[in-house]
Amino acid sequence: MTLRVLRPGALATVQDLGRTGLQHLAIVPGGAMDPASHRLANALVGNRDDAATLEIALSGPELLFGGVALVALHGARFEAALDGAPFPAARPVLVQAGARLRIGRAREGCFAYLAVAGGIAVPRVLGSRGTKHTGGFGGLGGGLVATGAILPVIPDADAVATSRFARVAARGGAVAVGRAARSVRWLAPAPTLPSTDPAVVRAVDGVHAALFGDAARTAFFGERWRVAADSNRMGYRLLGPKLELVRPTEIVSQATCLGTVQVPANGQPIVLMADHQTTGGYPKIAELIAADVPLVAQVPPGATARFVRVALEGADAAREAFGASVGRLVERILWEFGDEDD
């Protein structure tokens, strides 16, 4: 089975759950911007969490299936059609050879993940198949997916797809998707899509919060912030009131983390995302809680977010609750495939 890229879309890359333990070598984990949606997409085709998927942002690709494939699209809601028929998201879809999948613009959210039964079989680099675009390694040659590219799959992808779909369809039946595919009646919820406008995001005070005046701290945790158009996988730039320090202060560069909120000299905060730098010298006004980082990833440019202060204990509880919720959902989906392991 082959999967050819006829049109690449805006920012499509191969991603997985990232490469850990290398930040001391200036290599951040990276990986999927919304790892929960990545995990759910994999579960929908019977894959393990760490299988590589195609991450799609804002505008999707057009793909040609050279063989039978079991695929799932999960995360942001995109316009999508398979040979002209509406493509059902958030569920397993068995696609026939020769079909074309066209993924258009995101209608809700920002990032979605296209999983293929067996995973996208690019080589592991430093323990991960994910693309490190700024470093030029991982994924498909270390860069964005391009027109004409072939997404590699496992040698027996056709057989795996047919077997897995037969098992999942046996439990709940199958429905036609146009003339080129079959799917199921149920779907998996999308727990990371914002349910409010603005998106409500929880954060704890950053290590340098006290360096900012009362007005700046009140503004950060009270005003609406708009995601700027030049945001990317490294960081989301936020537009709103200028956040000012009490007095000019030089900060020694320190390690940064996923979800760190830095404030550069222009007073407009930057939320560090999956491909953030390993160190930074801007003051840190806040740290997003881990449970809400995927939610922020799904806020597209032009949309808004509002930050709510929580205590560290609340952040820990939210992380555990969110992780457990996604884990239960993954287990429930995989149960539909039965006990057999391909």
Specify the 3-state DSSP secondary structure of 35.
helix
The pLDDT, as a whole number, for residue 135 is 86
Q: What average pLDDT does range 43-58 have in this prediction?
A: 96
DSSP H helix total and E strand total for the chain: 5, 20
Tell me the backbone φ, ψ of residue 23, rounded to 5 degrees. -65, -25
Written as six digits, the tokens of 182 are 């079959």
User: Which pLDDT tens digit goes with each residue over 77-126?
Assistant: 999 999 999 999 999 999 999 999 999 999 999 999 999 999 999 999 99
* pLDDT, tens digit (0-9, with 9 covering 90-100), for 238-269: 999 999 999 888 888 888 999 999 999 999 99
Residues 170, 181: Cα–Cα separation, whole Å? 16
Mean residue pLDDT across the chain: 94
How much is the average pLDDT of 275-296?
95
pLDDT at 342 over 80: no
Q: What is the CA radius of gyration of the chain?
A: 21
CA 110, 122, 120, 328 torsion: positive or negative? Answer: negative
- In Å, what is the CA distance from 57 to each residue of 144, 145, 218, 260? 11, 12, 32, 22
| % of the chain exceeding 70 in pLDDT | 99
Tell which residue, 49, 14, 57, has the closest CA to residue 326.
Answer: 49
Whether pLDDT at 340 is above 80: no
Residue 290 has pLDDT above 60, yes or no: yes
Cα–Cα dist 96/54, whole Å? 19
For residue 109 the two structure tokens come to 């959210």
User: Pick from 27, 25, 29: which is nearest to 50 by CA?
Assistant: 29
Q: What is the DSSP letter of 123?
A: P
Beta-ladder partners of 116: 71
Average pLDDT estimate for 309-319:
95
The number of beta carbons lying within 10 Å of the beta carbon of residue 35 is: 22
Tell me whether residue 31 is exposed, middle or buried, using C-beta atoms within 10 angstroms of its C-beta: 0 to 12, 13 to 18, 19 or more. Answer: buried
Question: Mean pLDDT lowest for which of 34-43, 250-259, 315-324?
Answer: 250-259
d(CA 165, CA 340): 12
Above pLDDT 90, what percent of the chain?
86
Least confident of 248-262, 264-278, 295-309, 316-330: 248-262
Nearest to 73 by CA among 104, 42, 107: 42
Predicted confidence at residue 25, as pLDDT, reads 86
Using CA atoms, how far apart are residues 65 and 282, in angstroms rounded to an integer? 47
**Domain formed by 199-310, architecture:** Beta Barrel (2.40)
**Burial of 317 per CB tally in 10 Å (0-12, 13-18, 19+):** middle
Q: What is the pLDDT of residues 156-195, one digit of tens each?
A: 999 999 999 999 999 878 999 999 899 999 999 999 999 9
Per the listing, tokens 């199958």 go with: 174
- Exposure string for 47-85, b = 16+ CB within 10 A, e = fewer: beebbbbbbbbbbbbbbebbbbbbbbbbbbbbebebbee
Tokens 């809680």 appear where?
Answer: 289
Confidence of residue 339 (pLDDT cuts 50, 70, 90): low
pLDDT confidence of residue 248: 85
Domain boundaries, the chain: 3-189+326-335, 199-310
Residue 297 has pLDDT above 80, yes or no: yes
